[in-house]
Amino acid sequence: MSNAPSLAARPAASLHRFANPGRFLRLSGRVLPWLAGAAVLVLAVGLPWALLFSPPDWQQGETVRIMYLHVPMAWLAMGGYAGLAVGSAMALVWRHPLADLAARELSPVGAAVTALCLATGSLWGKPMWGAWWVWDARLTSVLVLFFLWLGHAALVRAFDDPERGARMGAILALVGALNLPVVKFSVDWWNTLHQPASLTRVNAPALHVDILYPLLTCTLGLTLAFAAVVLLRVRAAVMERRIRALQMAAARRAEAPPMVGAES
Partner 1 sequence: MSLHWWHVAISYALVLGGFAALTATAVLRHAQAKRVLARLETRKRPA
Residue numbers of the site for partner 1 (CB under 8 A)? 47, 51, 61-63, 65-66, 69-70, 73, 109, 112-113, 115-116, 119-120, 123-124, 126-127, 222, 225, 228-229, 232-233, 235-236, 239-240, 242-243, 246-247, 250
Residue 20 is given by DSSP the state: S
The answer to whether 173 and 103 are in contact (CB under 8 A) is: yes
Q: ∠45-47-53 over CA atoms, to 5°?
A: 85
Please report how close the Cβ of residue 190 comes to partner 1 at its closest, in angstroms: 26
| 62/188 with CB nearer partner 1 | 62
Nearest-angstrom CA–CA distance, 128 and 126:
6
The answer to whether 32 and 109 are in contact (CB under 8 A) is: no
| 32/144 with CB nearer partner 1 | 32
| 39/170 with CB nearer partner 1 | 39
| 45/47 with CB nearer partner 1 | 47
* Phi, psi angles (nearest 5°) of residue 135: -85, 60
| 9/195 with CB nearer partner 1 | 195
Nearest-angstrom CA–CA distance, 150 and 115:
10
| 25/207 with CB nearer partner 1 | 25
Please report how close the Cβ of residue 129 comes to partner 1 at its closest, in angstroms: 12
The answer to whether 191 and 134 are in contact (CB under 8 A) is: no
SS (HEC) of 67-110: HHHHHHHHHHHHHHHHHHHHHHHHHHHHCCHHHHHHHHHHHHHH
Please report how close the Cβ of residue 120 comes to partner 1 at its closest, in angstroms: 5
Residue 203 is given by DSSP the state: T
Please report how close the Cβ of residue 37 comes to partner 1 at its closest, in angstroms: 13
Please report how close the Cβ of residue 157 comes to partner 1 at its closest, in angstroms: 15
Please report how close the Cβ of residue 12 comes to partner 1 at its closest, in angstroms: 28
